[in-house]
Chains A and B, each alone.
Chain A
Amino acid sequence: MCTLEKRGNLFILTFTGENQHRFNPNLIGSLLSLLSQVKAEATRGSALITQAQGKFFSNGFDLDWAQAAGSEQGAAERLHHMVDLFKPVIAALLSLPMPTIAAITGHAAAGGFVLALSHDYLIMRKDRGVLYMSEVDIALTIPDYFNALFREKIGDASVRRDFLLRGLKMKGDEAEKRGVVEAAYGGEAEVREASVRLAENLGKRKWHGEVYAEIRKGLYPQLSAILGLTHKAYTIARL
C-alpha cells in the first residue's frame, strides 16, 4: 500500500512492502486520496518526495488483476479502466502546489515510470534499478497522456524513441547522462538523502504553491490539456 508522512515541511509518500507496488484500483484510490491530503495541507515552502521500499519503485499496472477478469476482452477492459483511473493521479501531481521529487531506488516500469516522470525532479540509483517502458514488449499501445508526458518532459527525440519504440531498460548513469533524471547516486541511502536535501533546498525558497503549480502547467501545456487541467492567470505583488 502507500503511506503519507509529514516531516517538517516535507510530505513523504511511500510505497510500502517488498512487492512490485503495482497499480490496481485500490492503490490508485489510496494515492489519489493521499495526494488530496497533501494538497489540502500545503503551505509555502512545502515539498513532496515519493519513494518506495524494496526492489521496485513501481512495476506499473496490476496485469494479474486485469487477467483475473477471465477473458481477453475482460482483461482489456480492466486495463483500460486502470488507465482511466490513473489519469487523475497524474493530473494531481501536475497541479500539486509544491515542488515534487521522485526518489527512485528500484525499478520503475510502464505506469511506474510514468508516475516518476510526473514529478518535477527524478533522482535515481546508479547501481540498481532501471527505467523501462515495457509496453512494446508486451504488445500494448501507449495511452495518449503517457505520450504527452514523454513528449513534454523528455526533450531528446532519440531518448523518447529508445524508451517507447525500443523498450530500452535504462540504468541510472545513462539516465543522468541523457538528461532523463536530475542525478544518480551510488546507493539507496544516498538517493534518499539527496532527495531530502533537494526538497529542503527547494522548500527554503518559500514559493507560492498555487503560482508554482500554474507555472508548471504552463511548462507542459499539451499534457495539461489532455489531463483537463485549466490555466489560471495569477498576478501577485511580492515586495
Chain B
Amino acid sequence: MCSLEKRGNLFILILTGQNGEHRLNPNLFSSIISALSRAKAESTRGSALVTVSHGKFFCNGFDLDWVNAAGSDEETQQRFNLLLDYLKQLVLAFISLPMPTIAAVNGHAAAGGVVLALCHDYVLMRRYRSVLYMIDLDLGIKIPEPFMALFRAKISGSARRDLLLRGLKIKGEEALKMGLVEAVYDGEEEVTNAGIKMADDLAKRTWHGEVYAEIRKGLYSELCDILGIASIPIATPKL
C-alpha cells in the first residue's frame, strides 16, 4: 500500500507493501488518493511532496492478476475499466495538488507506473536498474485519451513517439536525454535523497499553493479540458 510521512514542510509518499512490484489495484489507488487528499488538506505555503518507493520496482502498472481473477470476460473488462477510472482520478489529484511534486524513481516503472511518475512536476531516476517502459503496445492495449493528453502535455518532440510507439525500455541516461527526467542518480538511496533535497529546495521558494496549482493547470490546459477541470485566475500579488 502506501504511507504518508510529514517531515517539516515535506510530504513523503512511500509506496510500501509486500507486493514488491507496487502494482496498482483498487486498494493501492485508494490509498494513494487518500494520502494526496491528506497532503492537500494539511498543505501550507512552502509545502512539497516527493513520492518514493523501495526495491526493484517503482511501480509496474496495473494489477493484471487481480483483473484476470474475475469470474467472466465481462467482469475482467469491468475490473480493467475500474482501474482506468482510478488512474484518471489519480492524475486529477496530482494536477490539482497545491504544492510542487517530485517522483524519485528507484526502479522499473511500466504503463500505469510511468503515468504515476509523469503525474509529478519533476521526475528523478536511477541511472541503472531502472527503466521506463510503456508496455501497452507490446501487450496490445490501447492508451486511452486522458493519459495521451498527459503525455502530450509533459513530453515533446520525438521523445513522445519513442516512449509510446516504439516499445522501448528506456534507461536512466536515455530518459535524461529525452527530457523525460530531470536528473539521474547511481543508487536507490541517492535518488531518494535527491528527491527529498529537491523537494526541500522548491519548498524554500514558499510558493502560494493555490496559485501554484492554478498555474500548473494553465500550463497543462489541454489535459485539464479533457479531465473536465478549469483553472481559476488569481490576482492578489504578494509584492
Listed in ascending order, the chain A residues whose CB lies under 8 Å from chain B are 63, 66-67, 72, 75-76, 79-80, 135-144, 147, 150-151, 155-158, 160-161, 164-167
The docked-state distance in angstroms from the alpha carbon of A157 to that of B234 is 23
B121 touches A139 (CB 8 A): no
B100 touches A140 (CB 8 A): no
By a CB distance below 8 angstroms, the chain A residues around B238 are 138-139
The docked-state distance in angstroms from the alpha carbon of A157 to that of B123 is 13
B239 touches A76 (CB 8 A): no
Interface size class on chain B is: 20 to 34
| Contacts A/B (CB < 8 Å), 7 sampled | A79-B235, A137-B207, A139-B208, A139-B238, A147-B218, A156-B157, A157-B155
Q: Which 6 A-B residue pairings sit nearest by Cβ, starting from the closest?
A: A139-B208, A76-B235, A139-B211, A138-B237, A141-B214, A139-B238
Q: Per-residue CB proximity of B94-138 to A under 8 Å, as 1/0?
A: 000000100000000000000000000100000000000000000
The docked-state distance in angstroms from the alpha carbon of A237 to that of B121 is 50
B218 touches A142 (CB 8 A): yes
B157 touches A136 (CB 8 A): no
B219 touches A136 (CB 8 A): no
B234 touches A141 (CB 8 A): yes
Listed in ascending order, the chain B residues whose CB lies under 8 Å from chain A are 100, 121, 153-157, 179, 182, 202, 205, 207-208, 211-212, 214-216, 218-219, 221, 231-239
In this complex, what residue of B is CB-closest to A151? B221
B214 touches A160 (CB 8 A): no
Are A156 and B236 CB-contacts (below 8 A) given A137-B205, A141-B231, A167-B205? no
Are A157 and B212 CB-contacts (below 8 A) given A141-B233, A141-B235? no
A156 touches B156 (CB 8 A): yes
By a CB distance below 8 angstroms, the chain A residues around B156 are 155-158
By a CB distance below 8 angstroms, the chain B residues around A136 are 205, 207, 211-212, 215
The docked-state distance in angstroms from the alpha carbon of A144 to that of B232 is 10
A75 touches B237 (CB 8 A): yes
Nearest Cβ distance between residue B119 and chain A, in whole angstroms? 13
Nearest Cβ distance between residue A220 and chain B, in whole angstroms? 15
The docked-state distance in angstroms from the alpha carbon of A166 to that of B207 is 10
The docked-state distance in angstroms from the alpha carbon of A183 to that of B236 is 36
B215 touches A63 (CB 8 A): no
By a CB distance below 8 angstroms, the chain B residues around A150 are 219
A63 touches B239 (CB 8 A): yes
By a CB distance below 8 angstroms, the chain A residues around B232 are 141
Residue in B155, B179, B205, B215 whose CB lies within 8 Å of A141: B215
Residue in A75, A139, A161, A167 whose CB lies within 8 Å of B234: A139
The docked-state distance in angstroms from the alpha carbon of A166 to that of B179 is 16
Are A142 and B215 CB-contacts (below 8 A) given A156-B156, A158-B179, A165-B121? yes
Are A76 and B236 CB-contacts (below 8 A) given A142-B215, A156-B156? yes
The docked-state distance in angstroms from the alpha carbon of A161 to that of B212 is 12
The docked-state distance in angstroms from the alpha carbon of A141 to that of B221 is 13
By a CB distance below 8 angstroms, the chain A residues around B237 are 63, 66, 75, 79, 138-140
By a CB distance below 8 angstroms, the chain A residues around B100 are 165
By a CB distance below 8 angstroms, the chain A residues around B233 are 141, 143
In this complex, what residue of B is CB-closest to A148? B221
Residue in A137, A139, A158 whose CB lies within 8 Å of B236: A139
B219 touches A164 (CB 8 A): yes
By a CB distance below 8 angstroms, the chain B residues around A158 are 156, 179, 182
By a CB distance below 8 angstroms, the chain A residues around B211 are 135-136, 139-141
B215 touches A72 (CB 8 A): no
A141 touches B218 (CB 8 A): yes
In this complex, what residue of A is CB-closest to B210? A139
